[in-house]
Amino acid sequence: MKPFLLPFFFCLVPDLFAIPNSPHAVRTSRTLPTAAHSVPFSKKVPRRTGATHSLQKRSTHTVPLAGSDFDANYVVNATIGGQNFTLLIDTGSADTWVPQQGFSCFSLTGSPVPAATCNFGPTFDVNGSTTFEPFENVSFNITYGTGFFVAGPVGFETLSVGELEVAHQIVPVPNIAGWEADGIQSGILGLAFPNETSLFNTSDPANVSVENRIPYNPFFLTAVNQKKVEHPYFSIALNRPTADQEEHDSYDPNLGFLAFGGIAPVPVIHNTSTTIPVQGFNSNGTAPGDTFFWHAISIDSYNFPGCENVPEAHNASLAGGSTILDTGTALNLVPAPVAAAYAAAFDPPAQLVNITGLSLYTAQCNATVPPFSVTIGGQEFTMDPRDQLLPVVTDATGDVVCIGGTQARGGPDISADFHLLGDVFLRNVVATFNPIDKGESYPFTENIVVIEG
């Protein structure tokens, strides 16, 4: 979607804004190919109840996306060992997994609960697959930022997303889960780097450590290594559901594309793109370094009315940390001073309140939303105001409360090493990821371009 044409607020100093002088932009003469495989996203959009959790050549591998879980999760159909599943697309993690039949469900505090509480979609029948091969003496164990966790055995299996199929892919099939799904989503399709995978050299998933961790190639890297895609890129284009779909539909198909082999097949504004390096990390977990985990980038500035009074807005490097492009997160999670100042720019101002144990900025659902953009690699990317107020929380009186699409990472008084640009940002752009093909003078890269309305 093309962003609204709103007043423009720059908080960059001039020498950083000029694209040729930007320290983060990568100059490249290559044109991104259109993906060979594109798969549509879809999304289940429940009614407003429950708690909140939070380049051109022709394509043949494009998968449509669906949606799921409070307008927060974009999902795609996949086949594992001949069995069909709906998986959350997550650029912030690397493992692709589905729970096996007969798994044990736990609360997020570790207490046993009925399997129905985890509310997964279909589960994997290990014995029903003719291609499943156990990976002996290794185990899987991961806890996500939401507190959700899964653990258990691992195998090699045939995995297909759309028409893109790989053989002998490592696929965890956990038998332990602490989860709150939506009855549709069965697991996750992870698209981050191998160093972010969670496989361990032990048969006991409780006996895991950094020392016995075994990185492996996620699905897309396996596809490239098996020469199933010509160009080592994948891209994400997220659409938003209509207001009527958000209010009434239980399932929302065709909400964008996951594309393998290049850029997603959607119209873009070509003079609005930037190509930037992915940030690596050192052994202390800070940038810069030469170990890659996530699709992390540097932000030049956050731009909104009043940003000139927030040092961390007009010079984002002052906030420290890196920013991850994360399809698995609905919101933007930005430095606390930026979130507070942007909330104050709403009319009437957004307020920080406690909702189900989370400190979140909320606003009247008919509030006037101020413009908000980020500058990356010298290029400004404006976010649609419709994504900055999300009517997904019901208060004690039964009234719908809107939470802000841009929140503080770690809370307003807690510093954070990482910030996130989630679906609020990604709905306005096509993000193309290059997790394999390094240049001579730059590391892995990402290209971001504005979607044409």
Q: Higher-confidence residue: 217 or 273?
A: 217
Q: Is 161 helix (H, G, I), strand (E, B) or coil?
A: strand
In 307-370, alpha helices (H) = 311-314, 336-344
71, 182, 300, 326: which is the annotated catalytic residue?
A: 326
Q: Tens of pLDDT along 185-222?
A: 999 999 998 999 999 999 999 999 989 999 999 999 99
CA distance 70 to 236: 20
pLDDT, greater one: 68 or 126: 126
Q: Are 387 and 424 spatial neighbours (Cβ–Cβ below 8 Å)?
A: yes
Domains of the chain: 1-28+268-453 (2.40.70.10), 33-262 (2.40.70.10)
Give this prediction's pTM.
0.81
pLDDT greater than 70 at residue 121: yes
Would you place residue 355 in the very low, low, confident or very high pLDDT band (cuts 50, 70, 90)? confident
Please report where in the chains the tokens 């090493």 appear, as a residue: 417
What's the rounded mean pLDDT across residues 345-354? Answer: 94
For 14-28, 287-301, 348-362, which range has the lowest pLDDT when averaged over its residues?
Answer: 14-28
Q: Contact, 338 vs 310, CB < 8 A?
A: yes
Q: What is the pLDDT of residue 265?
A: 81
* pLDDT tens, residue by residue, 148-161: 999 999 999 999 99
Tell me the average pLDDT across 64-70: 47
If one compares 447 and 111, the residue with the highest pLDDT of the two is 111
Please give the C-alpha separations between residue 65 and each of 192, 313, 451, in angstroms, as whole numbers: 18, 33, 16
pLDDT at 405: 95
Tokens of 441: 């003078």
Q: What gap in Å lies between CA 97 and CA 77, rounded to an integer?
A: 13
**Is residue 90 annotated as part of the catalytic site, yes or no?**
yes
> Residue 63 — very low, low, confident or very high, per pLDDT cuts 50/70/90?
low
Residue linked to tokens 């429940």:
46
Catalytic residue of the set 90, 95, 300, 384:
90
Q: What is the DSSP string of 168-232?
A: EEEEE--SEEE----SS--EEEE-S-GGG--EESSS-TTS--GGGB-----HHHHHHHTT--SSS
Instruction: Mark whether 290 is an active-site residue.
Output: no
Q: Residue 107 — very low, low, confident or very high, per pLDDT cuts 50/70/90? A: very high
Residue 272 DSSP one-character state = G
Residue 214 CB contacts under 8 Å (≥ 6 apart), including other chains: 138, 197, 199, 200, 201
What average pLDDT is seen over the chain? 80
pLDDT at 350 over 90: yes
d(CA 401, CA 155): 44
